[in-house]
């Protein structure tokens, strides 16, 4: 995916140059944090980008209820969006069966044809891939930019030395923790921190807290783009490790250096609006001015 990520990054940065010319306020969520990962996952699945933009809105409505905190109106909208998403992908599946292409969607359909996935599993996997494919990176871009603006010395350090990019991306992932929690069900009685937890109990593990554990990360609330204190848990761990983690790293390593190099001046231009979904750290708006 590296060539596609490079190509899509270049196009979006060019768009930002055009939109921000003259000191105009731009919304980095609307113009970068959302369209970038949507374009990447659409390219991977073999979907037209224009379709991907519409599907993103449906998937966003659908995922809004995942946390369990929602109104009846939210639930009605999520149901309608899920139905529309499924209807769209049913047509895509039918098309790939008739005319396979060189994309991930065709590969998944072939797995179903070979009997390794049933129809429900195929649909569930496609819906999950599309939704998860943009959520993490959308949140990483917005929270990462804000973290850098809050730590101008670290921002300038990265501008001056691009060799720190791998550790800088890992530190942004740790520091912002786009997915703040993960749930597990105990398979046997277990004692953790003196608390006895029976078998079959739902446990919420706070990944964001683990990523700020002073026993693992000295001065954990400080952003240090060259930090090397072992693995963070932003992509969870073990059997449930996020298999999109590698793609998110590629996206971050391509996007952030291009953004901070193209625009030596990135200034807040209003109050960012937080995304109100429990378990996900992100923003729905991030107004800034960009200077070249």
The pLDDT, as a whole number, for residue 15 is 93
Q: Is the pLDDT of residue 185 over 90?
A: yes
Closest CA to 177 of 229, 153, 212: 212
Give the pTM. 0.89
Sign of CA dihedral 85, 87, 93, 99: negative
The pLDDT, as a whole number, for residue 251 is 94
| Backbone torsion region of residue 115, taken as left when φ is above 0, otherwise alpha when ψ lies between -120 and 50, otherwise beta | left
Closest CA to 88 of 118, 121, 126, 117: 126
Domains of the chain from N-terminus onward: 2-291 (1.10.630.10)
Query: Confidence band (pLDDT; 50, 70, 90) for 183?
Result: confident
Averaged pLDDT, 25-37: 93
Structure tokens at 198: 């029976």
């Amino acid at each position: 995916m590296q060539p596609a990520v490079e190509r899509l990054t270049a196009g979006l940065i060019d768009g930002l140059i055009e939109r921000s010319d003259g000191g105009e306020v731009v919304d980095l969520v609307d113009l970068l944090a959302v369209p970038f990962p949507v374009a990447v996952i659409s390219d991977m699945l073999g979907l037209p980008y224009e379709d991907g933009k519409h599907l993103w809105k449906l998937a966003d409505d659908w995922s809004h209820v995942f946390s369990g905190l929602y109104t009846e109106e939210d639930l009605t909208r999520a149901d309608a969006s899920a139905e529309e998403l499924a209807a769209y992908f049913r047509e895509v599946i039918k098309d790939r069966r008739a005319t396979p292409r060189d994309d991930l969607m065709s590969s998944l359909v072939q797995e179903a044809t070979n009997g390794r996935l049933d129809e429900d599993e195929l649909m569930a996997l496609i819906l999950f891939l599309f939704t998860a494919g943009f959520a993490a990176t959308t949140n990483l871009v917005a929270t990462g930019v804000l973290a850098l603006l809050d730590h101008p010395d670290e921002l300038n350090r990265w501008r001056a030395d691009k060799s720190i990019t791998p550790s800088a991306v890992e530190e942004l992932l740790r520091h912002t923790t786009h997915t703040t929690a993960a749930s597990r069900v105990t398979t046997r009685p277990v004692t953790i921190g003196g608390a006895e937890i029976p078998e079959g109990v739902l446990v919420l593990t706070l990944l964001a807290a683990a990523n700020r554990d002073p026993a693992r990360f000295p001065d954990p609330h400080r952003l240090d783009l060259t930090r090397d204190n072992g693995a963070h848990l932003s992509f969870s761990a073990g059997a449930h490790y996020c298999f999109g983690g590698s793609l998110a790293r590629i996206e971050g390593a391509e996007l952030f250096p291009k953004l901070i190099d193209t625009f030596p001046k990135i200034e807040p231009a209003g109050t960012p609006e937080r995304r109100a979904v429990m378990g996900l750290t992100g923003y729905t708006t991030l107004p800034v001015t960009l200077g070249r």
